[in-house]
Amino acid sequence: MLGGSYGGYMATMLAGCHGNKFKAICSERAVNNMLSEEWSSDIGTVFRVEHGPNHLEDEEEYKRMSPIRHVRDINVPFLIIHSEDDLRCPISQAEELFVAMRLLGKDVTFYRFPGETHELSRSGSPVHRVQRAEIILDFFAKHLAV
């Protein structure tokens, strides 16, 4: 499975909640920790509009909505791709997930793209777009080979 942005959020959430249904998962430019996303994203206040109270007023709700809380249950090969200049989902979101997975001894690979934003897959530099595609293809070729 592969997802980016909200799809990346869902890919990470599914990896932790239903990972046994997948052989490998790639999450790109995803929100992984709603607590830190709310104050670090360029659209963090949108969460308040959609969910009501902010993370200081209802920390438990933000934890409940965070894929990172399921990190212990991720047991499939996992690829994280993120752009260093992403303001929508700051790279710290990827770093938090990567560090947590490494600390738990999970099979995780992390690629970061300098000078790119949330739009890497659509309007990033041609060189980085090709590199991204090759990374994804190689990852799934390795883990989905029969």
Q: Tell me, rounded to whole angstroms, the distance of Cα 18 from its chain centroid.
A: 16
Scored b (16 or more CB within 10 A) or e, 62-96 reads beebbbbbbbeebebbbbbbbbeebebbbbbbbeb
Known catalytic residue at 18: no
**What DSSP line would sit under 28-64, residue for residue?**
ES----HHHHHHHSTTTHHHHHHHSS-TTT-HHHHHH
Catalytic residue among 41, 55, 118, 121: 118
**Which SS3 state, helix, strand or coil, does residue 131 take?**
helix
Task: Output the CA–CA distances (angstroms, integers) from residue 25 to 20, 101, 137, in the order listed.
Answer: 11, 13, 12
Q: Is 5 a residue of the active site?
A: yes
Which member of 5, 27, 66, 121 is catalytic? 5
Question: Would you please indicate which residues are annotated as catalytic (active-site) residues?
Answer: 5, 118
